[in-house]
């Protein structure tokens, strides 16, 4: 049998061919030539196996997405059933199909109040690009052509396409790509650990972030601002940043005052990740639009959605009466196989009470995460539900990071793999985001592996004189 696993072992799949032909996203392409790929061949529950047969607990759900793990048979069956019935059709120009109708109604039924309409695409980036276009379309429909700026935040991650990549607030993702585009501005990320002044309480910090946001709105001119976009809990850009107390309440007061739309990016936080259905549910967020992807299909098929309020949808319909068809949409919008897998995923969430399961697992996760605070390399731990991060510090008391070139984060990530767990280094932060199906023993396994990796890193920084 030369299935993928056998093929790698027999040299029929040659890692050198990977190096020669495959461009890897978010990879140092120069280093890849000498390092070569880690080839992952198969998955089972919360675990994946590499081409040497080594097993890893996937502590990141791959890219914060494989919520039901890597071997959910029902999703495979849903895909093959749909492939055999109608492998492809579209929803352009009044066409529809059963999987699309079911998914639109199932998703809007569990969405935050008032988000009754959804437009599907393939990736989180496209969902956010769509949200930008809809914010513009909405204001054009209302006869407010000047109200076009979108406020995002430094440290936010909203994707990589030209629009979403502009919203993303990570300078390295703008540099050399000529981003951001016009009409995108960035506010401060309210990260207490990184941004608080000495002795500043979380409440005082939140108040300062809100005045800074208000000053930005005044400076730009509220009449020019269409929307504000935020992840309820920031994920991969800043490293799991939770909002300080009162932050979203204050932001929403200001947005309402100036008639600015609120877009919630729930691409990571949606579908139970935080212990409630939506990240929005923790912070009283009432979005006008919401974007979802990743766990919408447990990542088994690529699908994303942009949900909109009745008010936005009414304006879109009114525009159709004026100018004709709504001229936006991708070929694979509501792709039947992706929609069928998403439908089955949402059914499983409901039947197995995945949100309740995460809520029940959260105390163990929180306890094991918080215990790492005692470690000499850890400046802070942050978490909610089954989403967490450990902030690595050279100087805990002063909250000072290691030199960016020291590579402590990547070292921890590599050591964790040696210990059989996959975590993710984001600069000075190590993130964890395991499949939502993990049990307490697996949570322990994840944090045991991470702690061992931190211990290795402690020795390593001492040896190298980095501490
Ligand atoms: N929004 C958030 C919060 C994300 O974390 C991501 C991806 O990690 C995206 C959007 C972009 O999604 P995609 O990579 O599917 O384009």
Taking CA atoms only, the protein residue closest to ligand 1 atom 7 is: 159
Cα of 200 from ligand 1 centre, angstroms: 32
DSSP 8-state code for residue 402:
P
With a pLDDT cut of 90, the percent of the chain lying above it is 93
Q: Is the pTM of this model over 0.90?
A: yes
Q: In a 3-state reduction of DSSP, which class is residue 155?
A: coil
- Whole-angstrom CA distances from 295 to 48, 58, 209, 239, 354 are 18, 15, 31, 19, 12
User: What is the predicted pLDDT for the residue at 5?
Assistant: 52
Distance 425 CA to ligand 1 centre (A): 17
Pocket test for ligand 1, best of 25, 60, 125 (most atoms within 8 A of CB): 125
* Ligand 1 probe mutation, 25, 157, 164, most atoms within 8 A of CB: 157
- Pocket residue to mutate for ligand 1, from 61, 167, 268, 295, most atoms within 8 A of Cβ: 268
Phi, psi of 264 (to 5 degrees): -100, 125
Q: What is the pLDDT of residues 408-434, one digit of tens each?
A: 999 999 999 999 999 999 988 999 999
Distance between Cα 157 and ligand 1 center (Å): 7
Q: Determine the distance separating the centroid of ligand 1 and the alpha carbon of 267, expressed in angstroms.
A: 6
CATH 3.90.1150.10 boundaries in the chain: 38-71+354-463
| Residue 105 Cα to ligand 1 middle (Å) | 23
* CATH 3.90.1150.10 is right for the domain spanning 38-71+354-463: yes
22: DSSP letter: P
Res 2 pLDDT > 50: no
Domain with CATH 3.40.640.10 in the chain: 74-351
Listed range (18-22, 157-161, 346-350, 382-386) with the worst mean pLDDT: 18-22
What was the pLDDT predicted at 352? 98
Please name the fold of domain 74-351.
Answer: 3.40.640
Residue 6 Cα to ligand 1 middle (Å): 33
Q: At CB < 8 A and 24+ separation, what contacts does 141-145 make?
A: 141/315, 141/316, 141/318, 141/319, 141/322, 142/315, 144/223
Label residues 274-313 b or e (16+ Cβ within 10 Å = b).
bbbbbbbebbebebbbbbbbbbbbbbbbbbbbbbbbeebb
Q: Could you give the CA distance from residue 67 to residue 55 in angstroms, rounded to a whole number? A: 18
Predicted confidence (pLDDT) per residue in 174-229, tens digit: 999 999 999 999 999 999 999 999 999 999 999 999 999 999 999 999 999 999 99
First to last CA, the chain: 50
Contact of 262 with 287, CB cutoff 8 Å: yes
CA of 177 to the centre of ligand 1 (A): 18
351-366 pLDDT, tens digit per residue, is 999 999 999 999 999 9
CA distances from 402 to 34, 148, 405, 422, 467 (A): 26, 40, 8, 22, 8
**C-alpha 65 to ligand 1 mean position (Å):** 10
Say what the ipTM of the complex is.
0.99
Query: Where is 274: in which H helix or E strand?
Result: none
Atom of ligand 1 nearest to the CA of 63: 8
| Residue (of 385, 179, 120) closest to 271 by Cα position | 385
pLDDT at site 1: 41
Closest CA to 58 of 448, 391, 432: 432
Rounded to 5°, the CA angle 158-386-378 comes to: 85
d(CA 345, ligand 1 centre) in Å = 19
Structure tokens at 295: 């766990």
> Which residues line the pocket of ligand 1, CB cutoff 6 A?
63-64, 123-125, 128, 157-159, 231, 235-236, 265, 267-268, 293
Which atom of ligand 1 is the closest one to the Cα of 294? 15
pLDDT at 462 over 60: yes
Looking at the predicted structure, is the pLDDT value of residue 449 above 90?
yes
Atom of ligand 1 lying closest to residue 65 CA: 8
Q: Name the residue of 267, 278, 295 to mutate for ligand 1: max ligand atoms within 8 A of Cβ.
A: 267
Name the packing angle between helices 440-463 and 354-371 (round to 10°). 30
CA 173 to ligand 1 center in whole angstroms: 13
Please write the tens of the pLDDT for every residue from 92-111.
Answer: 999 999 999 999 999 999 99
Specify the residue with its C-alpha closest to ligand 1, atom 1.
158
**Mean pLDDT across 362-381:** 97
User: How far does the centroid of ligand 1 lie from the alpha carbon of residue 85, in Å?
Assistant: 31
- Of 67, 159, 161, 236, best ligand 1 pocket probe by most atoms within 8 Å of the beta carbon: 159
């Amino acid at each position: 049998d030369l299935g993928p696993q056998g093929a790698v072992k027999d040299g029929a799949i040659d890692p050198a061919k990977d190096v020669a032909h495959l461009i890897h996203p978010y990879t140092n392409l120069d280093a890849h030539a000498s390092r070569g790929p880690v080839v992952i061949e198969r998955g089972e529950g919360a675990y994946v196996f590499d081409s040497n047969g080594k097993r890893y607990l996937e502590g990141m759900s791959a890219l914060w997405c494989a919520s039901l793990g890597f071997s959910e048979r029902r999703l495979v069956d849903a895909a093959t059933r749909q492939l055999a019935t109608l492998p492809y059709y579209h929803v352009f120009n009044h066409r529809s199909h059963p999987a699309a109708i079911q998914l639109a109604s199932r998703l809007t039924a569990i969405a935050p109040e008032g988000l009754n309409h959804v437009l599907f695409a393939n990736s989180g980036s496209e969902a956010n690009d769509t949200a930008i276009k809809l914010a513009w379309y909405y204001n054009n429909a209302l006869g407010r052509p000047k109200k076009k700026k979108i406020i995002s935040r430094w440290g936010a991650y909203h994707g990589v396409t030209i629009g979403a990549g502009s919203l993303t607030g990570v300078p390295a993702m703008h540099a050399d790509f000529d981003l951001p585009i016009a009409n995108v501005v960035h506010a401060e990320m309210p990260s207490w650990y990184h941004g608080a002044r000495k002795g500043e309480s979380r409440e005082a910090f939140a108040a300062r972030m809100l005045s800074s946001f208000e000053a930005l709105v005044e400076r730009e001119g509220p009449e020019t601002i269409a929307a504000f976009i935020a992840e309820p809990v920031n994920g991969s850009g800043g490293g799991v940043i939770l909002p300080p107390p009162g932050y979203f309440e204050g932001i929403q007061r200001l947005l309402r005052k100036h008639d600015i739309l609120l877009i919630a990016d729930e691409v990571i936080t949606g579908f139970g990740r935080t212990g409630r259905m939506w990240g929005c549910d923790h912070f009283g967020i009432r979005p006008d639009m919401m974007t979802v992807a990743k766990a919408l299909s447990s990542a088994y098929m690529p699908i994303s959605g942009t949900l909109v309020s009745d008010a936005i949808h009414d304006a879109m319909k009114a525009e159709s009466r004026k100018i004709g068809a709504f001229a936006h949409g991708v070929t694979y919008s509501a792709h039947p196989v992706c929609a069928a897998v998403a439908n089955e995923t949402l059914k499983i969430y409901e039947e197995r009470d995945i949100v309740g399961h995460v809520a029940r697992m959260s105390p163990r996760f929180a306890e094991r995460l918080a215990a790492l605070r005692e470690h000499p390399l850890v400046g802070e731990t942050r978490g909610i539900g089954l989403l967490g991060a450990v902030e690595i510090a050279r100087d805990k008391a002063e909250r000072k990071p290691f030199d960016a070139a020291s590579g402590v984060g990547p070292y921890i990530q590599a050591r964790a793999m040696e210990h059989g767990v996959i975590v993710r280094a984001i600069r000075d932060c190590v993130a964890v985001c395991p499949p939502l199906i993990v049990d307490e023993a697996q949570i322990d396994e994840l944090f045991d592996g991470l702690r061992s990796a931190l211990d290795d890193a402690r020795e390593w920084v001492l040896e190298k004189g980095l501490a």
